[in-house]
């Protein structure tokens, strides 16, 4: 491998790392590096080339998404993993962040709530989004936990309820299900969901950040 080829490999690796990690992303610096490797190329052409590389990276990111089907169903019907097991395992395996929603949260979900509180006390940042009809007193034990944030949906003329059922773990994995956080949803109903893994999961988190910013939710504590 000659020196010029080595420089191209180093540049390609740097581009890939910065596309993957937005905190490192510095477009102007990357364009300057490209200019050093291709000094005879016009700046406008380099920008077009760079834009194409960004698009290609986004397409590859979407294509890397993996999915696993999860169900609440009679054991003799299907062989897929069960909702309750995946829910517990997902929370237990989280290392940095957990974002979870609850449209209906019954007393049956107390175990899940306590597990989330325990994780927050271990330093995991937990954000719990509940519908306007869910009683926040179910989460009172989390009041003194700095890493636990509870958000409640505001009444809206356009959108009546926060009906989403999702848990996002470490911005890398999402468990999306038709199941509520209740006995029927987790154990007794026929429910279908999926565990999705990939960088595109970050988009789900951004949706909730935007909903907070636009005051569709308010922080309870």
Q: Give the catalytic positions in this structure.
A: 163, 165, 170
Distance (Å, whole) CA 172 – CA 164: 18
Strands 217-219 and 148-153, sheet pairing: antiparallel
Helices 83-93 and 110-121: crossing angle in degrees, nearest 10, is 10
Report the side by side order of strands in the sheet with 125-130.
Answer: 81-82, 66-72, 191-197, 173-177, 166-169, 97-102, 125-130, 148-153, 217-219
CA–chain centroid gap for 115, Å, is 19
């Amino acid at each position: 491998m000659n020196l010029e080829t080595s420089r191209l490999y180093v540049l390609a690796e740097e581009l890939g790392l910065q596309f993957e990690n937005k905190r490192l992303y510095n477009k102007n610096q990357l364009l300057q590096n490209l200019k050093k490797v291709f000094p005879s190329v016009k700046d406008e052409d380099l920008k077009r080339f760079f834009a194409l590389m960004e698009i290609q990276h986004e397409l590859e990111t979407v294509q890397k998404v993996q999915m696993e089907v999860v169900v609440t169903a009679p054991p003799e019907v299907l062989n897929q993993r069960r909702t309750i097991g995946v829910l517990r395992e997902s929370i237990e395996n989280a290392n940095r962040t957990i974002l979870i929603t609850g449209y209906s949260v019954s007393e049956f979900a107390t175990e899940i709530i306590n597990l989330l509180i325990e994780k927050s006390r271990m330093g995991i940042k937990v954000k719990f989004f509940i519908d306007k009809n869910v009683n926040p007193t179910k989460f009172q034990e989390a009041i003194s936990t700095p890493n636990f944030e509870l958000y409640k949906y505001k009444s809206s003329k356009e959108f009546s309820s926060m009906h989403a059922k999702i848990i996002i773990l470490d911005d890398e994995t999402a468990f999306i299900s038709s199941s509520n956080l209740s006995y029927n949803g987790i154990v007794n109903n026929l429910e279908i969901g999926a565990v999705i893994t990939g960088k595109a999961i970050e988009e789900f988190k951004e949706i909730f950040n935007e909903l907070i910013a636009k005051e569709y939710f308010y922080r309870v504590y």
